[in-house]
Amino acid sequence: MTDKPQQFASDNYAGICPEVWAAMETANDASAPAYGDDIWTQRAADAFRTLFDTRCEVFFAFNGTAANSLALAALCQSYHSVICSSSSHVETDECGAPEFFSNGSKLLVAPSPDGKLTPDAIRTLATSRSDIHFPKPRVVTITQPTETGQVYSIAEIQAISATCRDLGLKLHMDGARFAHACATLGCSPADVTWRAGVDVLCFGGTKNGMAAGEAIVFFDTALATDFDYRCKQAGQLASKMRFLAAPWIGLFESGAWLRNAEHANRCANRLAAAIEGVPGIRLAFPVQANAVFLDTPDGFIDALKDRGWRFYTFIGGSARFMFAWDADVKAVDRLARDITELAVAATKAVEVASHGTGAPGIVSPLSRPQIPG
């Protein structure tokens, strides 16, 4: 580790957690069969079955874009459509990969100011057309937690899956930060997935302490037919699969998957609590996982960047801070102090400019440029 100041621009900035590193080191001890025919891949898949308390089918991919796209492609024909929220990663940040890997299945985007999909929004989109000229709705995808850092409750997922069943739709969950949602809900992974009606989950390892890797978990195992061929064709079958699989053993068997997420969530909540009531600063979304989105006063963003902090301003233009398993609490506190000082200064400047009568000018998030994350 270097003594460079820690940044919270992305939870992808974090390194590999010790439990994952140790598991990879153990798997590195000798040679092993390739392409998933090794004991590590078997053990990792079994660890998923234990964690989820069901006989799911499990596949390992290099990243979330591939996991989501291939999972959705497995649920769709090319003439089908996938209902998603307007801020979903599959829509905004996967470069059209879900459409590409499904040979053209269309994403039907539900406007969603807070990032969540609702039964009503799903029903409205799914029933908007039923004629032969429109791509037939087939799948709903939700992100847990959402790209805005909010967590669907079990009841919300149950309501969504009931709507899906009613409309003949499959339910996919983008769980790039699934562990963080489990940490928030304090529930078993089974309760928030297959027991609540989720058919397929993409479980993110990268943001949970791994170097790379996501698992595609089919709770409806019939949907996994030939998925291994789909992975291979898409360049997602690792020849040295044990190094994609062993990290999951390290995460699950040590309990680090949950500890890491709990720490990340605690750091997000610590920042939110420390800046509560600071003039001119407003949480853009409730803090329910490891993300903090802030609406801020005029001039604030540049001033915070001038102090060396790095962060994204996408999703409506709010300043986004993400906390990972390795977030340093002292750095969180330093960030909170800088935010407070600069917000107070910005508020005073606005007051002076308006002769003491003006309210702090919070920048409308939508007035700022979108910067891809």
Ligand X SMILES: Cc1ncc(COP(=O)(O)O)c(C=O)c1O
Q: Which residue has the tokens 């990268």?
A: 206
Stretch that binds ligand X, among 62-70, 252-260, 267-275, 308-316 (CB under 6 A): 62-70
Number of residues interacting with ligand X: please give it, by CB under 6 A: 9
Shortest Å, Cβ 173 to ligand X = 10
Among 176, 192, 324, 336, binds ligand X (CB under 6 A): 176
For residue 371, what are the CA distances in angstroms to 136, 287, 312?
32, 21, 7
Helices (H), 2-147: 18-27, 39-52, 64-75, 89-92, 97-101, 119-126
The residue among 63 and 340 lying less far from ligand X, judged by its C-beta, is 63
3-class DSSP state of 101: helix
The residue among 61 and 271 lying less far from ligand X, judged by its C-beta, is 61
The residue among 65 and 193 lying less far from ligand X, judged by its C-beta, is 65
Six-digit token string for 297: 């006063």
Q: Examine residue 161 and tell whether it contacts ligand X (CB under 6 A).
A: no
The residue among 89 and 172 lying less far from ligand X, judged by its C-beta, is 89
Half-sphere exposure (CA, 13 Å, Cβ side) for 62? 9
Give the closest residue to 38 by CA, choosing from 210, 213, 241, 212: 241
Among 63, 86, 158, 340, binds ligand X (CB under 6 A): 63
Class of residue 129 by CB neighbours under 10 A (exposed 0-12, middle 13-18, buried 19+): middle
Using CB under 6 A as the binding rule, the residues of this chain from 183 to 222 that contact ligand X are: 206
Among 41, 85, 141, 143, binds ligand X (CB under 6 A): 143
The residue among 99 and 174 lying less far from ligand X, judged by its C-beta, is 174
The residue among 135 and 175 lying less far from ligand X, judged by its C-beta, is 175
Using CB under 6 A as the binding rule, the residues of this chain from 64 to 93 that contact ligand X are: 64-65, 89
Cβ neighbors of 212 (< 8 A, separation 6 or more) are 62, 63, 205, 206, 244
The site for ligand X (CB under 6 A) is made up of 63-65, 89, 143, 147, 174, 176, 206
